[in-house]
Structure 1
Amino acid sequence: MENEMEVYFTSPILGQIFGKVTAQGGDTYRFVGKNVLVNIELKRLETGWICEQEQWLHDSQVQEIGQQIDQAEAWSSAQ
C-alpha cells in the first residue's frame, strides 16, 4: 500500500467520516479524520479487521475502513 490513502466510514449520526490511513508497520494502520476529529488504530487479523482502543466504533465501521485498505492494496499489487 502507498504510505497514505483517503478512506471513509459511515456514522449513523454524522454521515461519512473522511480521513487518511497510513501504514504503521506490519498489519497496523492509523486512520486520522479530516472532517471529524478522530484518530483510530486498526489491525488486520486473519479473521478480519479490529480496533482495540476505540470502543465506540462499531465493528461494521472498522470493516468498512479495512475493506477499503484491502482494495487499495490489491489494486496497488496488481500494478
Structure 2
Amino acid sequence: MVIVKCIGESHFYLEKVVMPKEMFWFEAPQEAQLELWMMSPQGQMLDVRAYTADYAMDADLQQQLGLERTCMAVADTR
C-alpha cells in the first residue's frame, strides 16, 4: 500500500491510498509537491518527495489529450 499526497498552489490538495496492483491516474499543477508514503512496521514512512513535473506524463501526449495540468500515475506493484 502506498499513500499519495500532492500539495500545490491555490489550495490544491490530493491524498489517496493506492492498494497493491491498483493504478491511480491524476492531474495536478506542475509546481505541486508529490509525496509517496510507504507502510513500515513503525507506521508510515516518507519514501519519495519530488515535484510532480519529475513524474509527469509526456508533454506531447498531454497536448494530444487536451490536458492543461500535469498528469501522472502511481502504482503499487508489490
TM-score between both structures, scaled by the size of structure 2: 0.32
Which has more strand, going by share of residues? 2
Which has more helix, going by share of residues? 1
Higher RCO structure (Cα 8 Å, ≥6 apart): 2
Structure with greater Cα Rg: 2
